[in-house]
Amino acid sequence: MEYRTLGDTDLQLSAITYGAFAIGGNMWGGNETKDSIAAVHASLDNGVTTIDTAPFYGFGLSEELIGAAIKSKDRGKIQLLTKFGLVWDGSNQGKGEYFFDASENGRAIPVYKLTSKANIIKELEESLKRLGTDYIDLLQLHWPDATTPVDETMEALNTLISQGKIRAAGVSNYDLPLMKTAAKTTRLASNQVSYSMLNRGIEKDMVPYAIENNIGIIAYSPLERGLLTGKYFRDAALKADDHRNGYFGQFSADKVKAFLDSITPLAESKNASLSQLVLRWTTLQPGITIVLAGARNAAQATQNAQTMNLQLKADEVGFISRELEKVYAE
């Protein structure tokens, strides 16, 4: 495993980080508790020291599962990354910005974005309890909230750092103007953004800004929620309540399949899976600090963690990138 410094903090994070969205179950067709905990343990056993989660994942379940999984582990050797700012239980009392309706057991649950100082403090205490810890290594705003001034949110994060409840502050899904606004109030350690072979928009402005200002970039959905593993072009099927039934529709299936077919021989020559090759390419892109990889069981988690054993030469990275350009060609 390779460990990388996040921005100008003293946090050393594993280049492959365990992404805990799917084990929450909601929007992913459910979960199995035993398998989820085994996935976290397998990650830790294979050098992954960093776990990224959020209260929204499973409406608290993801954090609870992680708390159970690390209860007997050395907390000082694990970096916990979580978030705040999505409210679903009605406690916002009409405040915040409506986001979307989530689903749980066939029931629609309205979700609001709320990043007020009071809500940050409330959510943090709830996360600490679920995770079974007294501090968070990196606390991240989950989604921008147009109803709360940016400086109010950032000042609250400054306070939590000074209190020792969080070691560093970050954001997620922030665009460049919001990053610059936030920088007037606090020193952000990172921005967690969607980034993959099929989604490279941040390379235009966010990556140069992050590099220039020593801000970490945490890449989520690097496998495009499983599409880039190739298994959905073979025999894998999605459950009816899995959000990916609609999500995959934004991509050209024929182009993606042709691309994966073109790089499969390289993966096979390295005794690696397609997902490992895709993840490794992603970790080697300029400005990308760590890459989130989700896993529902120990086997998937082990495979993700072992990605960093894969060595790619410059010409091999170039070959992948050239083949990838064909996906974007008209």
43 near 18, Cβ under 8 Å?
A: yes
Structure-block tokens of residue 132:
């079974």
For residue 19, pLDDT beyond 70: yes
Per-residue model confidence (pLDDT) at position 240:
56
CA distance 311 to 300: 20
pLDDT tens for 221-254 read 999 878 898 876 655 565 655 666 667 767 777 8
pLDDT tens for 175-228 read 999 999 999 999 999 999 999 999 999 999 999 999 999 999 999 999 987 889
In a 3-state reduction of DSSP, which class is residue 38? helix
Q: State how far Cα 61 lies from the chain centre.
A: 16
CA distance 114 to 96: 5
Mean pLDDT taken over the chain = 91
Enter the pTM of the model.
0.92
209 flagged as catalytic = no
Q: Measured between alpha carbons, how far is residue 315 from residues 57, 64, 311 in Å?
A: 39, 44, 12
Residue 168's region, left for phi above 0, alpha for psi from -120 to 50, else beta, is beta
Per-residue model confidence (pLDDT) at position 296:
86
The mean pLDDT of 57-64, rounded to a whole number, is 92
pLDDT tens for 279-311 read 999 999 999 999 999 988 999 999 999 999 999
**DSSP code per residue over 123-151:** HHHHHHHHHT-S-EEEEEE-S--TTS-HH
Structure-block tokens of residue 218:
């945490």
Per-residue model confidence (pLDDT) at position 8:
96
Q: Which of 57, 112, 174, 220 is catalytic?
A: 57
CA distance 42 to 301: 6
Contacts of 301 (CB under 8 A, 6+ apart): 18, 38, 39, 40, 42, 43, 46, 48, 295
What the chain holds in terms of domains, given with CATH numbers, is: 3-328 (3.20.20.100)
